């Protein structure tokens, strides 16, 4: 008979091993799924995981991994700080949109002036936009005790309406024949978040994501604030005795995650996307929640998880295009990854024991 026994201490070994085991289990069961759909499972798995990194056209896909992974990592780093302290910002998608709007608006306001200071101003505006949007749930929580999960999530839909309104009205391209969408910032040099080295995929957003990882690592391990964040998450009562002021922590955590999400939006709108359009947001803010947990809320883990997530997206597209796999199968595959990770997490805290049924 199989029994689960609680471990006295969470297993360090399993905590490290579960992501790997989860990936392997996903490959196994995903392979079975692809097999049932009539595709060679080995070929499908190879296409998803190998092709983007080492395949014939990896010179194109590797930079794309950076483009796809950077916003995920940038947002997830911000979210992880709050998540560690038990502060749940679920509305990063909204902060991402608002950051893109404020940042792009600053750039478009200068059009067609070319000057070195335009892009830095856009970056500041983007961060401020995201920060301000996150301050709404933060302020309401601190002042009135509202639930930040609901407020931040609902504000995503408000932000989406803003986005539609801006694409159709205020930020609409005056030379766009009445079609929705702003001017393309890729064609406006001072506002363009171009690759720092051509075709490397290395734009400012990637740099910002890497800086955020280092910053978060130092903050959590070396700084008083990081200690307070961890303490609040692990032992809220003890934290209060240790002099942590919860209101300040809420404002800080939501503010930082909002600003980082806003930055991600700005780098996306001024770089890979190029323009404000109704369908600008594609769910980075929500996927980043998965990335944060997949990475164990640890900065380095998040970096790796962001890369893995980007890999399944890009590999999944290749598998669709080359093997004719339906998009839904790829989504199931990605879902499996999270499912196995969470399920196997059980083994960190519990161990499986084989017991003979006891005689009464």
Partner 1 sequence: MKLTSLLASAAMVLGLATGAVAQDKTKVGFVYVGPVGDGGWTYEHNQGRLAVEAEFGDKVETVYVENVAEGPDSERVMTQMALNGADLIFTTSFGYMDPTINVAKKFPNVKFEHATGYKTAPNVSVYSARFYEGRAVQGTIAGMMTKSNVIGYIGSYPIPEVIRGINSAYIHAKKVNPDVQFKIVWAFTWFDPAKEADAAKVLIEQGADVILQHTDSTAPQAAAKNAGNVITFGQASDMGEYAPMPRVSSIIDNWAPYYIERTRAVMDGTWETSNRWDGIGKGMVKIGEISSAVPEDVKAKALEVKEAIASGAYHPFTGPLNKQDGSAWLAEGDVADDGTLAGMNFFVEGIDGEIPQ
Q: Does 327 bind partner 1 (CB under 8 A)?
A: yes
Torsion 84-86-87-93 (CA) sign: positive
Cα separation of 138 and 148, whole Å? 7
In 3D space, the residue among 126, 263, 114 whose CA is nearest the CA of residue 190 turns out to be 114
278 counts as binding partner 1 under rule CB under 8 A: yes
Binder among 89, 152, 275, 334 for partner 1 (CB under 8 A): 275
Return d(Cα 139, Cα 348) in angstroms, integer.
Answer: 36
Query: Using CA atoms, how far apart are residues 232 and 77, in angstroms rounded to an integer?
Result: 18
d(CA 255, CA 89): 10
For residue 214 the two structure tokens come to: 């280092």
Does 286 sit near partner 1 (CB under 8 A)?
A: no
DSSP single-letter state for residue 191: G
Q: Scan residues 170-199 and list those touching partner 1 (CB under 8 A).
A: 177-181, 184, 186, 197-199
Position 40 contacts partner 1 (CB under 8 A): no
169 binds partner 1 (CB under 8 A): yes
Is 169 within 8 Å of 278 (Cβ atoms)? no
| CB distance 244 to 231 below 8 Å | yes
Number of Cβ within a 10 Å radius of residue 176: 13
Site track 288-317 with partner 1 (rule: CB under 8 A), x = hit: --------------------------x--x
Stretch that binds partner 1, among 206-214, 244-252, 318-326, 341-349 (CB under 8 A): 318-326
The one segment of 21-29, 77-85, 121-129, 266-274 that binds partner 1 by CB under 8 A:
266-274
64 in contact with partner 1 (CB under 8 A):
yes
- Both structure tokens of 47: 């296409």
Give the CA distances from residue 280 to residues 52, 258, 270, in Å, rounded to whole numbers and listed in that order. 25, 18, 12
Separation CA 213–CA 228 (nearest Å): 19
Which of 193, 228 has the CB closer to partner 1? 193
The residue (of 79 and 310) whose beta carbon lies closer to partner 1 is 310
Q: Does 274 bind partner 1 (CB under 8 A)?
A: yes
Residue 38 binds partner 1, judged by CB under 8 A: no
| 78 within 8 A of 212, measured Cβ to Cβ | yes
Segment near partner 1 (CB under 8 A); pick from 4-12, 125-133, 217-225, 265-273: 265-273
- Number of residues in contact with partner 1, rule: CB under 8 A? 45
Torsion-angle region of 201 (φ positive above 0: left; ψ -120 to 50: alpha; else: beta): left
161 contributes a contact to partner 1 by CB under 8 A: yes
Residue 335 interacting with partner 1 (CB under 8 A): no
Beta-bridge partners for 4? 352
Q: What single-letter DSSP state applies at residue 67?
A: H
CB of 337 to partner 1, least distance (A): 18
Is 80 one of the binding residues for partner 1 (CB under 8 A)? no
Stretch of residues binding partner 1 (CB under 8 A), selected from 114-122, 209-217, 274-282, 291-299: 274-282
Closest CA to 153 of 166, 170, 140, 168: 140
Single residue of 168, 304, 332, 338 touching partner 1 by CB under 8 A: 168
Q: Which of residues 42-61 bind partner 1 (CB under 8 A)?
A: 56-57, 59-61
Name the residues that contact partner 1, by CB under 8 A: 56-57, 59-61, 64, 67-68, 160-161, 164-165, 168-169, 177-181, 184, 186, 197-200, 268, 272-275, 277-280, 282, 314, 317-318, 320-322, 324, 326-328
């Amino acid at each position: 008979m199989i029994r689960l026994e609680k471990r006295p201490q969470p297993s360090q070994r399993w905590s490290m091993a579960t992501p790997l085991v989860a990936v392997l289990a996903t490959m196994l069961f995903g392979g079975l799924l692809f097999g049932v759909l009539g595709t060679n499972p080995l070929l499908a798995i190879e296409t998803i995981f190998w092709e983007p990194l080492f395949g014939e056209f990896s010179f194109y896909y590797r930079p794309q991994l950076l483009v796809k992974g950077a916003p995920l990592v940038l947002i997830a780093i911000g979210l992880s700080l709050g998540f560690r302290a038990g502060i749940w910002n679920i509305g990063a998608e909204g902060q991402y949109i608002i950051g893109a709007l404020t940042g792009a608006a600053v750039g478009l306001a200068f059009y067609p002036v070319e000057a070195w200071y335009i892009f830095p101003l856009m970056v500041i505006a983007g961060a401020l936009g995201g920060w301000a949007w996150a301050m709404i749930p933060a302020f309401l929580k601190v002042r009135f005790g509202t639930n930040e999960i609901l407020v931040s999530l609902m504000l995503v839909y408000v932000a989406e309406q803003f986005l539609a309104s801006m694409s159709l009205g205020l930020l609409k391209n005056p030379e766009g024949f009445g079609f929705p969408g702003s001017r393309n910032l890729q064609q406006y040099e001072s506002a363009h978040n171009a690759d720092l080295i051509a075709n490397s995929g290395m734009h400012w957003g990637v740099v910002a994501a890497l800086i955020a990882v280092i910053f978060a690592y130092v903050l959590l391990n070396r700084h008083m604030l990081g200690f307070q964040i961890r303490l609040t998450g692990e032992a809220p009562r003890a934290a209060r005795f240790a002099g942590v002021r919860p209101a300040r922590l809420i404002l800080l955590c939501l503010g930082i995650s909002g600003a980082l999400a806003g930055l991600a939006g700005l780098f996306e709108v001024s770089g890979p996307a190029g323009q404000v359009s109704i369908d600008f947001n594609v769910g980075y803010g929500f996927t980043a929640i998965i990335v944060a947990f997949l990475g164990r809320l640890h900065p380095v883990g998040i970096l790796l998880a962001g890369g893995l997530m980007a890999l399944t997206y890009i590999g999944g597209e290749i598998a669709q295009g080359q093997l004719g796999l339906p998009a839904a199968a790829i989504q199931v595959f990605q879902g499996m990854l999270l499912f196995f990770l969470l399920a196997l997490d059980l083994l960190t805290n519990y161990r499986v024991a084989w017991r003979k049924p006891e005689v009464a």
